[in-house]
Amino acid sequence: MGLPDNCEFTFNRKYHPGHRNLITDVPGVTVGHCTLEDDGKHIHTGVTAILPHGGNLFRKKTAAGVSIINGFGKSAGLIQAKELGTIETPVLMTNTFSVGTAVSALTKYMLQQNEDIGVSTCTVNCLVTECNDGELNDIRGMHVTEEDVTRALCSTGESFREGAVGAGTGMICMGLKGGIGSASRLVSLDDNEYTIGALVLSNFGEAGNLRIDGKRISHSCGTPDPAGSNAGDKGSIIILIGTDIPMDSRQLERIAKRASASLGRVGSFMGTGSGDIAIAFSNGTIIPHYPESAFIDMKTVSESSIDRVFEPAVEAVEEAIISSLYHSTTTSGIRNKTVMGLRDMLIKQADMKKKGLE
């Protein structure tokens, strides 16, 4: 997935993608969606679940780092993840008003797997992220249920759709239809091959600012301003970066910070009303909940080599953002709002140019 080689624009990669060009190229990572769509009721929303590895995440936590690029957001679990440097549950993405529902469902999911939580050991830090899909979705209807969250958690796999699916069903990005996007890059360190994967929930940016491969993408296609009432650099993006490279939480936070470079590449200036949050994790570094001794051995990347991780991570996030736009189709939602998909817009522009209308 990611961007196909035959898409309607050029995207030059410096680093090779994995064989799927998805975050699930990172061994052990799986992704699942639950998509809710009902045009008659203006429902365009859902849930996306990401499992950092296939084992018991509470007992075998992954090292993690968090970067709050701009804090206009309502996610849950970020404070402890940032403080302790670990992820101990699946990561959920949904809409703003469904965070509480998702936390409740994810808590029950974790309790079923761990009888000790809240009894003989501590409680659990559920990680739920969000963007506001209220421009297209009837967000006030709060249509996501705990059953929908469970369906996303139970449907994860190595292959998954991108675009207007799961949590991305009702999102808008750069005045175009946003959603779920993913990409991956391969990295060689000491003759061993590792993978860096990115998955985004894109719902940010100002119409007319989109850049692909450094070139501004025109919105002119004979239709009204696709941004509508969403003009301005606002919205949100959730960026998840996963890798199997052994790293500690400090290094992963440094990687998460570099996601801001990806946002700048595609034309965002991270406006004051945008919730831009990046989370990075490594399932190559496992932190046991029940350690066998007072010390934990940990392998990390030499700081002299970490640029070899930073740059492909930035490129993977950049492609994931563009892929979220490319795979999203034109959507009509609440209050008679229609938002065009990037590919639909490019095809329409090419057709108009062919007919001499531009």
The two tokens of residue 64 are 């993690």
| Cα(283)–Cα(169) distance, integer angstroms | 28
In the set 236, 262, 323, 328, the catalytic residue is 236
The answer to whether 148 is a known catalytic residue is no
Cβ count within 10 A of residue 297: 5
Secondary structure (H, E, C), 37-58: EEHHHCEEEEEEEEECCCCCCC
In the set 182, 184, 274, 328, the catalytic residue is 274
In the set 244, 276, 282, 328, the catalytic residue is 276
Polymer length of the chain: 358
| Cα(97)–Cα(133) distance, integer angstroms | 9
The answer to whether 249 is a known catalytic residue is no
Tokens 């035959």 correspond to 6
The answer to whether 159 is a known catalytic residue is no
CB 168 within 8 A of CB 280: no
- 344 contacts: CB under 8 Å, gap ≥ 6: 329, 330
Give the active site residues.
236, 274, 276
